[in-house]
A and B are shown apart, each in its own frame.
Chain A
Amino acid sequence: MSAISSDEIKREFIRSKMGLAGIGILLILIGVSIVTVITIPIDTFKEWNNPSNWISYPKTSIPVWVNLFQIKKIPEHMIIDEPIEKFQKLGDVSVASHQFMVYFDYDDFPNDFIYEFSAKYTGSPLLQLSVIRPDGIQLQLLSLSLPNSQTQITHDERIFSTDSSIRKNLFLQKEKFSFDIDGLSSEDILFSSSEKHEILKGNYIFLVNVYGVKTQNEILDSRLIVGGKAFGLMGTDDLRRDLAIGLLWGTPLALFIGLAVAIGSVTMGLLYGVYSGFKGKKTDEVMMRFNDIIYVLPALPFLIILAVTIGNSIFLMVGFLMIFGWVGIAKVSRSMALQIKIKGYVEASKMMGQKNSRIILRHIVPQLLPYALASVAISVPAAITTEAGLSFLGLGDPTFPTWGQILHDASVYGAAPRGLWWWIVPPGIMIAITGLAFVFIGNAFDTIVNPKLRRP
């Protein structure tokens, strides 16, 4: 172990392409983490396992960018929550109306449509839902009287396209279509051209009118969802969760797990090894035997047993991973400490009567820092993949959307046989990229610190 000055390490590191690439990827990942933590409200990721939070998203839909490579455009999932609002009063009758513009330009029928609203009213107002199609035909979908109330109340409701009265209403207007609409679902009829059963592209206007007599009515929240088969940057999973959010939140989580485990176990191993080597004799013997025991414990089975019996919170997991992470580092730092402790300056400070802790921290540990840094970088990928593996087996912390957790869900819901590639591929690539960044940095460091690997 020749001492290399930190300046020299810096200079050599900048010259190493691999190291720079690693630092580059790492900076991007850190950037992504910061943006995620700032822009995506922390509530969304706490609600990861709460199905009602994701109810307006589509099930297992493909990422939208796939449409760029498709001739036949897959219908995108549309959530429109900013309607054009109007209010009219004709004598005693008041009309509150909301208009939704839907530009439909896809080559497949939507899955469904849902209208969600909450209205504030007294009495029993009438809600009418109708659609003006690009070809000018107006279709009445639904007339619904809201539940009667003497006092002013707020009423929430969801109207689904599967509603039987919508279908009944459409059948009453079947003369507008020149083909048989029996057996077709409401969205298939609604978005079909009038001559034959194929998509009618263009602007659709969904009209919602609430009529009240002598009363003041208001639609507070109003939202139209046209259910498609493509959604978001990364698609959604079987539980309608937006995978982009899961993947983004996975980044800070993975960095946290990887770095916490790596820094923790390297620090532990370094101090343990240096102390053991510095003390020597009986202490060294006992400490190294203990090290041997941990070294030969089969890590994965034990991690599994620990996760099952003690608990699987993410912090406990970090602790468990540390238990198995420090051993190898302790061995190497011990042998390095053995070499350093016979050097003149260490002997000298001993003679001067300096405390052991001071000698270790002032004279020995700084010498090992380059090695320690390389070890931190090299330990991170293992920590991340092991955590991902445990999560994949279903032993991870279910409250956090780690990449392993997403893959676990993918495997449980049979994503591979069903061909849901967007559920499987991205989390694995994220794991690999994060691992790669640290491997690059670690290798670059290693070639500098470890003279045997230097090219002649």
Chain B
Amino acid sequence: MTLKKYVATRAITMFGVLMVTLLVTILLVGSNMDTILKQGLVFQVRAEITENPAIAKSFSSIAEFEAFVQNQIDQRTKALGLDTPWYSPQRIGFTMYKMLMLDFGRATFLTSDSGSSDVKDILLEKLPRTILLFTTATIIISIIGIFLGAFSGSKSGSKIDRLTSIFAVVSSSFPVWWVGMLMIFLFAFVYPIFPARATPSISSSDPGYIVALLYHMALPLITIVMIGFGSWAYLVRNFIIGIMQEDFITAKKTMGINRKKVVYSHALKNAAPPIITILALSLSGSLGGAIITEAVFDWPGMGRLYFEAITVMDLPVIIGSTFVLTIFFLVSVFIADLLYAFFDPRMRTD
């Protein structure tokens, strides 16, 4: 298989997965969504009439008035295509088409900080913050992890190696959000160093906003890094131990090449493909895990948005965020696949 063909097949699979995800989401929340949309419509019509008393006055009897209202509702239901059941192919197809065009409709309850209730605006506002926090955390984690892992892997069995392994196993057993609760308890209340809520209290148009945001980011960032880097180090360590047993490393060692050089340039280079793949995957994986962590720290990103949307059952937001999260996940899986193919020499031949 050539690289081009490989890329093409992967891309098609990914697109297929995206469609399946969308379909499943719509099937799961469709009936609720339908009811909510219809209720919204009734509410809208009633609100317009109360705002404009002239309409109500122009009718002689209540029955006539009610008929008018019902007529209005029916007309709008038809205009929006809500008269066909939600599971009809046209409507599902239409919804999926709109999603693909990144048109998620209007949120039922939630708004962005600037007050817009367009789901796209809300997502665009929250997404960069989640990426800021979790990408920074993942990068720090992977840097610490790779070096610590390479170091302890090259000295397999030493004290540092054992400490790293124990730390990795223990730290990965604690849920990040629980450690988050403890950190908030310790460093926001017992020793008030950091703010307890990660949402800055000043408005986002203020010039000092970025600084405030970074300051508020410190506690979640420290927590995520603290819990995360151990398992990374452990992973890299295991790769390195595997590679250090290979013949070419033994050969390099017997040739008298500096031990440090062997570990950091030759062994690490060989461990690179799986490490880079995992890096790409964990970047997107961290976005999914963000939901609980952001809820704990009250970080104003996608995760908390998702949590809020679930709490108030704001379905357009739920569907929109699931879609965006899935896209991110797919894109990083895709990139991981490509990187792997690129680094793996077997994929490049013929």
Binding site for B on A (CB under 8 A): 289, 292-293, 296-302, 304-306, 308-310, 381, 385, 388-389, 392-395, 407, 410-411, 415-417, 419, 421, 424-425, 427-428, 431-433, 435-436, 439-440, 443, 452-453, 455-456
Query: Please, could you name 13 A-B residue pairs with CB atoms under 8 Å apart, sorted by A?
Result: A298-B288, A304-B291, A304-B310, A305-B28, A305-B29, A392-B177, A393-B292, A419-B189, A428-B179, A443-B169, A452-B238, A455-B156, A456-B245
- Nearest-neighbour CB distance to chain A for B174, whole angstroms, equals 5
Report the nearest A residue to B242, measured CB to CB.
Answer: A452
**Which residue of B28, B175, B329 is within 8 Å of A428 (Cβ)?**
B175
Name the distance in Å between A338's Cβ and chain B's nearest Cβ.
17
C-alpha gap A306/B318 in the complex (Å): 12
Interface string of B278-319 (1 = CB under 8 A from A): 000000000111011001100000000011001101000010
In angstroms, Cα B307 to Cα A124, docked, is 59
Q: How far is the CA of A304 from the CA of B321 in the complex (A)?
A: 12
In the complex, which residue of chain A has the Cβ closest to the Cβ of B21? A297
Shortest CB-to-CB span from A159 to chain B, Å, is: 38
Identity of the chain B residue whose Cβ is nearest the Cβ of A452 in the assembled complex: B242
How many cross-chain pairs have Cβ atoms below 8 Å apart between A and B?
Answer: 130
Contact A301 B313 (CB under 8 A): no
B residues less than 8 Å from A435 (CB atoms): 173-174
Do A436 and B238 form a contact, CB below 8 Å, given A301-B321, A393-B310, A431-B174? Answer: no
Q: State the Cβ distance, A198 to closest chain B Cβ, in Å.
A: 30
Are B291 and A300 closer than 8 Å at their CB atoms?
Answer: yes
Report Cα–Cα, A436/B14, bound state, in Å. 35
For residue B32, which residues in chain A have a CB less than 8 angstroms away from its CB?
309
A410 and B329 alpha carbons, distance in the complex (Å): 32
Residue of A nearest to B292 (CB): A389
Residue of B nearest to A310 (CB): B28
| CB-nearest residue of chain A to B289 | A300
Q: Is the interface of A mostly helix, strand, loop or mixed?
A: helix
User: Which of B17, B169, B181, B185 sits near A292, CB closer than 8 Å?
Assistant: B17
**Could you say which residues of chain A place their CB within 8 Å of the CB of B287?**
298
Please tell me if B184 contacts chain A, counting CB pairs below 8 Å: yes
Residue of A at shortest CB range from B166? A18
A308, closest chain B residue (CB): B310
Whether B29 and A309, one on each chain, are in contact in the complex, defined by CB atoms closer than 8 angstroms, is yes
How far apart are the CA atoms of A411 and B326 in the complex, in Å? 29
A407 vs B25: C-alpha distance when bound (angstroms): 29
Q: Which residue of B lies closest to A411 (CB)?
A: B181
The reply to whether the CB of B101 lies closer than 8 angstroms to some CB of chain A is no
A431 and B175 form a contact (CB under 8 A): yes
Which residues on A sit within 8 Å (CB–CB) of B14? 296
Q: How many Å from the CB of A439 to the closest CB on chain B? A: 5
The docked-state distance in angstroms from the alpha carbon of A416 to that of B192 is 13
Tell whether B133 is near chain A: CB-to-CB under 8 Å: no
Chain B residues with CB under 8 Å of A453's CB are 238, 241-242
Report B321-350 residues with CB < 8 Å from chain A CB.
321-322, 325-326, 329-330, 333
Known contacts A309-B28, A428-B178, A431-B178; is A304 also within 8 Å of B173 by CB? no
* Chain A, residue nearest B30 (CB): A309
Complex CA gap A131/B70 in Å reads 72
Query: Is B175's CB under 8 angstroms from A296's CB?
Result: no
Q: Is the CB of A417 within 8 A of B13?
A: no
**In the complex, what's the smallest C-beta–C-beta distance from A60 to chain B, in angstroms?**
15
With A301-B306, A416-B185 in contact, do A432 and B173 touch (Cβ < 8 Å)?
A: yes
Question: A389 and B177 in contact (CB under 8 A), knowing A301-B306, A305-B29, A416-B196?
Answer: yes
A297 to B238, CA, bound (A): 27
B242 vs chain A, min Cβ distance (A): 5
**Are B172 and A439 in contact, CB atoms less than 8 angstroms apart?**
yes
With A and B bound together, what is the CA distance between A415 and B156 in angstroms? 43
Is there a chain A Cβ closer than 8 Å to B182's Cβ? yes
Evaluate contact between B196 and A439: CB separation under 8 angstroms. Answer: no
Of B16, B185, B329, which is within 8 A of A293 by CB?
A: B16
Known contacts A309-B32, A381-B173, A443-B169; is-contact A293 B288 (Cβ 8 Å): no
Residues on the A chain within 8 Å of B174, using CB: 428, 431-432, 435
Decide: A436 and B288 in contact? CB cutoff 8 A: no
Bound Cα distance A354, B122 (Å): 61
Q: A176 to B241: give the CA distance in the assembly, Å.
A: 81
Residues of A within 8 A of B25 (CB): 305
- Give the residues in chain B near A308, CB-CB below 8 Å: 310, 313
What is the 8 Å Cβ interface bit string for chain B, positions 185-225, against chain A (1 contact, 0 not)? 10011100000100000000000000000000000000000
CA distance A453 to B238 in the complex (A): 7
**Complex: how many Å from CA A304 to CA B296?**
16
- The CA of A415 and the CA of B318, in the complex, are separated in Å by 29
CB distance B330 to A301 under 8 Å? Answer: no
Contacts of B330 in A (CB 8 A): 296
Establish whether residues B311 and A388, one from each chain, have CB atoms under 8 Å apart when the complex forms. Answer: no
Task: A411-B296, A425-B182 given; name 17 further pairs at CB < 8 Å.
Answer: A289-B13, A293-B16, A296-B17, A297-B24, A297-B326, A298-B329, A300-B291, A301-B321, A305-B25, A388-B175, A389-B175, A417-B188, A431-B178, A433-B173, A436-B173, A439-B173, A452-B242
A306 contact set on B, CB distance < 8 A: 28
Distance of A302 Cα from B326 Cα, bound (Å): 10
B326 near A424: Cβ-Cβ < 8 Å: no
With a cutoff of 8 Å between Cβ atoms, the chain A residues found around residue B329 in the complex are 296, 298
CB distance from A247 to the nearest CB of B (A): 14
When distances are taken between beta carbons in the complex, the residues of chain A under 8 Å from B307 are 393
